[in-house]
Amino acid sequence: MIISVIIGLISGIISGMGIGGGTILIPSLSIFLQIVQHEAQGINLLYFIPTAIVSLWVHIKNKRVNFAIAWPIILFGLLGAVGGALLAGFLKADILRRLFGIFLFIMGGYEILKKDKKSKKVQEK
């Protein structure tokens, strides 16, 4: 039970920052609670709804949401979500877990290697 509380708290903090709590939640559920990948992803989706509502409210309140950019992303994201959910239903848990791991590895590598343009602009001024 205490592990679930810690996982939820850390994932909530990461979600609130807009980074994506699933990057912590899904591997944590799989590793520490031995939950299969399909269940971990399902729990993540259910977990995401209330945390996203709270985080979105705060970001809208702080005027950090550009709705002109967000609407097309939301609409096509919904289409992609349907396709992804259907695809995930056909994949074995082992393959799904590996694909998720590859995704995290690529995103982590990108974040490590990308050049921080904003901080360079600030330093140049």
**Average pLDDT in the chain:** 88
For position 119, what pLDDT does the model report? 61
**pLDDT greater than 70 at residue 120:** no
pLDDT tens for 25-82 read 999 999 999 999 889 989 998 998 898 898 899 999 999 999 999 999 999 999 999 9
**Which tokens in the block code for residue 45?**
């989706």
Burial class (CB in 10 A: 0-12, 13-18, 19+), 27: middle
**pLDDT greater than 90 at residue 123:** no
Residue partners of 43: CB distance under 8 A and separation at least 6: 25, 29, 35
For position 77, what pLDDT does the model report? 94
Q: What is the DSSP letter of 63?
A: T
